[in-house]
Amino acid sequence: MTAGLRIRVRGQVQGVGFRPFVWQLAHRFDIRGEVLNDPEGVLILAHGASVDPFVDALSCEAPPLAHVDAVEIADYRFDTIPADFVIAASVGQGAQTRVTPDAATCDACCDDIRGDDPRRRGYAFTNCTHCGPRFTILNGLPYDRARTTMAAFAMCADCAAEYGDPADRRFHAQPVACSVCGPTLWFEDGSGRLDGDALSLAVAKLKEGAVLAIKGLGGFHLCCDGTNPDAVAALRARKRRPTKPLALMGTEAHIARYARPSKQDWLHLRAPSAPIVLMSKGAALPDVIAPSQNRLGWMLPYTALHHLLLDKIAVPLVMTSGNLSGEPQVIDNDEARTMLADIVDGFVMHDRDIARRLDDSVLQTTRHGTMILRRARGLVPETLPLPAGFEDAPQTVAYGAHLKSAICLIKDGQALLSHHLGDLDDALTWDEFVKADADYAQLFDHQPEIFACDLHPGYRSSQHAAERGGDAVVEVQHHHAHLAACLAETGWPRKGGRVAGIVLDGLGLGSDGTIWGGEVLLGDYVGVERRAWLRPAPLPGGDAANRAPWRNLLARLDQAGMVEVADDILNDAPRALLRQAVERGVNAPLSSSAGRLFDAFAAALGVEGDQSFEGEAAMKLEAMAQRAPLNAEYAYPFADGDDGLDPAPMWDAWLGDQMTGTHPEAMAMRFHAGLAQAFAAKARALVISGEAQAVALSGGCFQNALLLELTVLALGDVPLLLHEKVPANDGGLALGQAVIAAAQALARR
């Protein structure tokens, strides 16, 4: 028997070139033995005199897509001294390791598609160990070709040689392919498949003003020429998306011209995740891309197909999800032909199946760091380490909200927050939610003991939890979950003490049975107290108030004793009928929603009509305020009354500004500053008194970068906890639900 080491590497270490990296290290340090993938990660059996520096290099020199969580070492006895170091076949099934997200095409592969090798020149599916599809083609673990949608494509001799050579950057790159043996690209229209180069045909159509469907990594995009206002307007009309901003894809030169990216923006754009990044506008593009907005969402091409398309057309392209608004993104060819036929003038198709739908991730850079707005392609399924005290947390699944839904799994001290799923009112999205629940459970070998959900019994996610979990269901108050999501993401220990949470969002059922949405909470993972709130106002018409900002303006002005002002501004609205309903308490529930206050003030500044998407009026108000100088001192006042933080003084000050002709942009800034200061004063006082150890900011209103900045400014020097990797909106809610349920279970032990 010969002494050696058994080395276990845990983390994101499969599908990232970790085994050939280990093989190269072993030859460098004269190590003998073997390396293989198994359900726990990467396993190495090593023998050699230089094993210590070999072990150190496993973390220090890991491949670019790898994330090493732990390197565990134990003694091992070899029967005989190994003759060499080899890469052994994967063993076992199940999942305790992490799965790598899809990664944008690397520079070397970009060189290949523009190079001289006929196998890869112009080939739309070029990839290597350092880039390409991962999660979107994965059917099971361990991550091997046979468990991906590439299993249908037998490698040619040349690809097989690259795949089998540990010194080649395509060694065991599971999607490896070339024009001889890999997936095929074609163009088709209503008459069928057309002869000729698919991308050349597509470019010709785009230059004519056509709208196309292009099959990408996680689904189809709808695409048109971003410099052609008529084409963009046609896309909007057919997609039934009248005003919501559309994403753009362009080269670095395009982005430098049409946007104003910061250094941090460039880092995000060029990252393997290749997200959509919101940035200030530069040179003019058609306003119809993002009406009434100061920013555009840009992404770089992240597949070889996208690079080749942009090479040929040389203009920025609108790239938005291939669906009707509110429905899931289309991923299947036949599904695309059926569901997108009335929207597009042609299809860029291919024959590699997509295993799961993934929208593009969306983020923005603020003065206080990165903010994820939609967590999807390129970021999922990365896991988040749970804070200290959660090491023994039971396996838990949480089902999130009703809008911006997502699922969260807890296992082995890690939290896995799923990709963005969408609005569960839509039947197709609901089907996707149920599929995702089964998919994640199977893929990650998850067997939950606890099922967490929102307190609201009308949420379909809550009903799903009840059906699956029975007596093991834990109902979690909406805003407590927002706070806990921020605590968990920022690593706040389970027993780290109480935190003051400013939680501002749309609507969530409160623990008292009323509708909350603007709160200061004091507490931790196990429980919270409601210490301050926005004075509740009626929601005239119930759900209709979520769509019509003027209804909220009527309610707030009437509450402030400004009935005549409301009559003057809203003279065409059915005021008497709504006031009668409010007086009788018919379909006019009280709510402390900060989101509805944003809507009311937007209506006061002239934002008209019903909202075509959630948050539209608030986004227009933010854009308006950002056109004014930052002025935290010139804030509208709020009163601190028995009924909560009362905006009535704000409305008085606004009326004075109206009468003196103050510019709307300045009034929008005053509103943001006033709201920020009112809530910050309450939370800061809890820290100063010693009741709270820090302040956390969460809820969908904090997607507003200006509100975030003004709130942070008003909080001063108190310790802050801010979202960065998890959405502040309801897309992060499942994480909060999961850690609350787990913490309560641990507290009972």
Is the four-CA dihedral 550, 551, 555, 558 of positive or negative sign? positive
Distance CA 710, CA 729 (A): 18
Residue 676, sorted as left (phi over 0), alpha (psi -120 to 50) or beta, turns out to be: alpha
The greatest distance separating any two alpha carbons of the chain, rounded to the nearest whole angstrom, comes to 94
Instruction: Give residue 283's identity as a one-letter amino acid code.
Output: A
**Helical H segments across 417-508, by residue range:** 427-443, 460-469, 478-489
Distance CA 483, CA 519 (A): 10
Tell which residue, 426, 408, 414, has the closest CA to residue 390.
Answer: 414
User: CA-based Rg of the chain, rounded to a whole angstrom?
Assistant: 27
Residue 179, sorted as left (phi over 0), alpha (psi -120 to 50) or beta, turns out to be: alpha
Tell which residue, 156, 129, 744, 150, has the closest CA to residue 494.
Answer: 744
Distance CA 505, CA 439 (A): 30
Distance CA 386, CA 340 (A): 41
**Helical H segments across 69-115, by residue range:** 107-113
Distance CA 472, CA 396 (A): 10
CA 691 distance to own-chain centroid: 33
Assess contact for 453 and 476: CB atoms under 8 A: yes
Classify residue 540 by its DSSP letter.
T
Catalytic annotation on 127?
no
Instruction: Give residue 62's identity as a one-letter amino acid code.
Output: A
Q: What are phi and psi of 533, to 5 degrees?
A: -160, 160
**140: which 2 tokens?**
């099971």
**222: which 2 tokens?**
């709808």
Instruction: Give residue 300's identity as a one-letter amino acid code.
Output: L
Residues in the chain: 749
Distance CA 736, CA 730 (A): 10
Tell which residue, 119, 113, 110, 117, has the closest CA to residue 178.
Answer: 119
Distance linking the first and last C-alpha atoms of the chain: 45
Q: Catalytic one among 6, 8, 10, 19?
A: 19
Distance CA 350, CA 215 (A): 7
Classify residue 294 by its DSSP letter.
S
Assess contact for 629 and 582: CB atoms under 8 A: no
Q: Which residues pair with 396 in a beta bridge?
A: 410, 450
**Residue in the structure block whose two tokens are 């509708």:** 515
Q: What is the H or E stretch that residue 23 is in?
A: helix 18-28
Q: Catalytic one among 10, 32, 37, 357?
A: 37
Is the four-CA dihedral 259, 265, 269, 273 of positive or negative sign? negative
Instruction: Give residue 109's identity as a one-letter amino acid code.
Output: C
Catalytic annotation on 37?
yes
Q: Active-site positions?
A: 19, 37
